[in-house]
Structure 1
Amino acid sequence: MLDVRRLHMLKTVAVRGSITAAAQSLELSAGAVSQQLAALRHDVAVDLLRPDGRTVALTEAGRVLLEHADRILAAMEEAECAVAAVKGTVGATATLAALPSTVARIVGPALTALGADHPQLAVTCLITDQAQMRELTLGTVDVVLGQRYHHLPDSTPKGIAVSPLLDDPLLVVTAHHGAAIGSDGQPVGLRELAPHHIVVPPPTTDCGQAILHACQQAGFTPTTRYVTADIAAQLDLARAGLATALVPQTAIAPATPGIRTAPIKDHPIQRLLFAATRHTETTNPTTAAVIAALRLAARQDRITHVPPT
C-alpha cells in the first residue's frame, strides 16, 4: 500500500524542483527525503524522478502517480474537513499568507477580530508577495490573501477556491506641497501624469505591468526614474516631491502625512483582493472563520475610508 506521506513528498519535490528545496520546506534532511522517495520508488517498481540539470523532474510514471496523489491528498483533506464540520468548532491553528500592502488595514483588524471571537485559534501569518498560491497548493498555508489585477487573466490553480474581498483602486500620490495635480482630491486623468516622473514597481510584477498597460492605453509611456516594489519607498519619494506614485488605496494609511491622493478618472487601475483556500466540498470551520474575518475587515475598511471624490 502506498504511503500518503511519501506521495506528499513526491509532490513537494515536483513543485520545489529539487530534493534539497523540498527537504527545507518539509523541515527534514535531504537524506531523509531521498530515503522516503527511494522507498516509494521500490513500492511502485519504476523510476519516478530523473535528473534535469541542477534540479529533478518527474518521469512519465512520476507524472501519472502525482495525478493520483493529488486526488488522494485532496480526498484526505476533504475527510478532515467533513469531520471538522461535524464537530462544528473552529480549530486551534491556521496559517495565513498575505501581501505586505494589506497588513495595516485588512490583516491587522482581521486578526484582532479573530483573537476576540476565537481565542483558541492561533494564526500564523506569513507576510509575502512571493509564490503564495504555490504554498497553498502544497499545504504549507491554509488561506491566502492575494491579488489579481483586472487586466490580467485569471490564473487560479486547479483545486483552489477564491472568495473576492474587494476591488482596490490605485490612487495617484503626490507631495502635499507639490504641483496642483490632484488638488483637493479631485480625480486625475492618467494622461496628466505624462510629464511627471513616476515611481513604479518593476515591470516583471503584476502591479508594474498594470501601470504600464494603463499608461499605454492613455497614450503615453511613463517616465520611470525610480523603480521599486516597496510601497513605503514609493510614498517616501512622492512625499519628497521626487516622483508621482500610483499606489493601491488599501496600502495607504488615511492619516499618512505629507502626501496628497486622488483617484484616476479615465483609465482606472485596480486589483481584486481575494481570499483563497484549497477547494473542498465541505466547508472547514477554521478557514471559514479566517475568511469571514478578512471579508469583514475589508468591508469595514472600505466603509470607513471612503475614496476621495
Structure 2
Amino acid sequence: MLDIRRLHMLKTVAARGSITAAAQSLALSAGAVSQQLAALRHDVGVDLLRPDGRTVALTEAGRVLLEHADRILAAMEEAECAVAAVKGTVGATATLAALPSTVARIVAPALTALGTDHPQLAVTCLVTDQAQLRELTLGTVDVVLGQRYHHVPETMPKGIAVSPLLDDPLLVVTAADGSDERSFGLRELATHHLVVPPATTDCGQAILHACRQAGFTPTTRYVTADIAAQLALARSGLATALVPRTAIDPATPGISAAPIEDHPIQRLLFAATRRTETTNPTTAAVIAALGTAARQDHTTYLPPA
C-alpha cells in the first residue's frame, strides 16, 4: 500500500524542483526525503524522478502517480474536514499568509477577534510580498489573504476556493498643504514625480497600465515596494504616491490621500483556501474574521484632512 506521506513528498519535490528545496519546506533533511522517495520508487517498481540540469523532473510514471496523489491527498483533506464539521469546533492551529499592506487594517483586527472568539486557536501569520497560492496548494498554509488588480484576468490554481473581501482603491498621496480634500484625474499625475512599486509587482503593473490607459507614461523618480517609504517620500513633498487605501492609516500626519476620479485603480482583496466539499470550521473562522475586519475598515475609513 502506498504511503500518503511519501506521495506528499513527491508532490512537494515536483513543485519545488529539487529534493533540497522540498526538504527545506518540509523541515526535513535532504537525506530523509531521498530515503522516503527511494522507498516510494521501490513500492511502485519504476523511476518517478529524473535529473533535469540542476533540478529534478517527474518521469512519465511520476506524472501519472502525481495525478492520483493529488486526488488521494484531496480526499484525505476532505475526510479531515468532514470529521471536523461533525465535531463542530474550531481547531487548535492555522497558518495565514498575508500581504504587508493588509496587516494593520485587516489582519491585526481579525487576529485580535479570533483570539477573543476562539482562544484555543493559534494562528501563525506569514507576511510576504507575494500571495502564497502555491504554498496553499502544497498545504504549508491554510488561508491566503491575496490581491488581484481588476485589469488583470483572474488566474487561480486548480483546487482553490476564493472568498472576495473588499474592493480596495489606490489613493493619490501627497504632502498635506492645508487645502480642502479633492479628487484627482489620473492624467494630472503626468506632471508629478511619482514613487511607485517595481514594475514586476502586481501594483506596479497596475499603475503603469492605468497611466498608459490615461494617455501618458508616468515620470518615476523613486521605485520601492515599501509603503512606509512611499508615504515618507510623499510626506516630504519629494514625490506623489499611489497607495492602496487599506495600507494608509487615516491618522497619519502630514499627508493627504485623495481618490482618483476618472481612471480608478482597484485591487480586489480575497481570502483563498483549498477547495473542499465540506467546510472546515477552522479556516471558515479565519475567513469570517478577515471578512468582518475588511467590512469594518471599509465603513469606518475617513480620508485624512
TM class by shorter chain equals over 0.9
Equivalent pair of 2:184/2:260 in contact (CA under 8 Å): yes
CA offset digits 1:17-66 (Å, max 9, x no partner): 11001000000000000011111111111111111111111111111111
Aligned residues: 305
CA distance, structure 2, for counterparts of residue 184 and residue 29 of structure 1: 61
Residue equivalent to 2:96:
96
1:264 equivalent to 2:260? Answer: yes
Residue equivalent to 1:194:
190
Equivalent residues in 2 for 1:200-219, closer than 5 Å: 200-219=196-215
Shift of 1:155: 1.1
Q: Which runs of 5+ in 2 are unaligned?
A: none
Equivalent pair of 1:186/1:308 in contact (CA under 8 Å): no
Instruction: Please list every run of at least 4 consecutive aligned residues from structure 1 whose deviation after the TM superposition is greater than 4 angstroms.
Output: 306-309
Equivalent pair of 2:131/2:144 in contact (CA under 8 Å): no
Q: TM-score, normalised by structure 2?
A: 0.98
One-letter amino acid of the structure 2 residue matched with residue 290 of structure 1: V
Residue equivalent to 1:62:
62
Give the 3-state SS of the residue equivalent to 2:129 in structure 1.
coil
Q: TM-score, normalised by structure 1?
A: 0.97
Cα separation, partners in 2 of 1:131 and 1:40, compared to 1, 3 Å: farther
Shift of 1:248: 0.1
One-letter amino acid of the structure 2 residue matched with residue 39 of structure 1: A
1:9 equivalent to 2:5? Answer: no
CA distance, structure 1, for counterparts of residue 185 and residue 231 of structure 2: 20
CA distance, structure 1, for counterparts of residue 84 and residue 202 of structure 2: 36
CA distance, structure 2, for counterparts of residue 161 and residue 104 of structure 1: 25
Residue equivalent to 1:232:
228
CA distance, structure 2, for counterparts of residue 129 and residue 2 of structure 1: 37
RMSD between aligned alpha carbons?
1.3
CA distance, structure 1, for counterparts of residue 22 and residue 200 of structure 2: 26
CA distance, structure 1, for counterparts of residue 300 and residue 285 of structure 2: 22
CA distance, structure 2, for counterparts of residue 16 and residue 131 of structure 1: 16
CA distance, structure 1, for counterparts of residue 159 and residue 297 of structure 2: 30
Residue equivalent to 2:45:
45
CA offset digits 1:145-184 (Å, max 9, x no partner): 0000111111110000000000000000001139xxxx52
One-letter amino acid of the structure 2 residue matched with residue 150 of structure 1: H
CA distance, structure 1, for counterparts of residue 43 and residue 153 of structure 2: 41
Deviates more, 1:61-70 or 1:72-81: 61-70
Shift of 1:307: 5.4
Give the 3-state SS of the residue equivalent to 2:191 in structure 1.
coil
Deviates more, 1:183-192 or 1:206-215: 183-192
Residue equivalent to 2:30:
30
Q: Which runs of 5+ in 1 are unaligned?
A: none
Shift of 1:265: 0.4
Equivalent pair of 1:159/1:278 in contact (CA under 8 Å): yes
Residue equivalent to 2:128:
128
CA distance, structure 1, for counterparts of residue 122 and residue 31 of structure 2: 32
Residue equivalent to 2:152:
152
Give the 3-state SS of the residue equivalent to 1:171 in structure 2.
strand
One-letter amino acid of the structure 2 residue matched with residue 10 of structure 1: L
Deviates more, 1:274-283 or 1:52-61: 52-61
Give the 3-state SS of the residue equivalent to 2:148 in structure 1.
strand
CA distance, structure 2, for counterparts of residue 31 and residue 131 of structure 1: 30
CA distance, structure 2, for counterparts of residue 258 and residue 62 of structure 1: 59
